Amino acid sequence: MELPSLRYRRECGDMLQTYNILHGLEDMPPDSLFHLAVEDTNGGHIMKLKKPRCRTALRQHLFSLRVIEKWNSLPE
């Protein structure tokens, strides 16, 4: 049936949810989950997110941390 994989669909859903949160389309403040990177971006987009350090593997898989790398790799 050539359906997209569950992993692909989850990543798409995560990117849509991140976009909605950062652009104020959700009922939660973006500051509660994400911090915008302040450094100069040499490519990509201006809404890059800062990834905090994690001590546990459990925290690395939380929504607010697992989307940062994929979000920052998106083109403008």
Over residues 5-63, the pLDDT tens digits come to: 999 999 999 999 999 999 999 998 988 889 888 766 566 678 889 888 888 888 888 88
Q: Is residue 20 part of a domain?
A: yes
Asked whether residue 1 is assigned to any structural domain, the reply reads no
User: Which one-letter DSSP state was computed for residue 36?
Assistant: B
Query: Domain residues for 39?
Result: 6-72
Question: Total domain count for the chain?
Answer: 1
Assigned domain for 53 exists: yes
The per-residue pLDDT for 40 is 61
**pTM of this prediction?**
0.81
29 located within any domain? yes
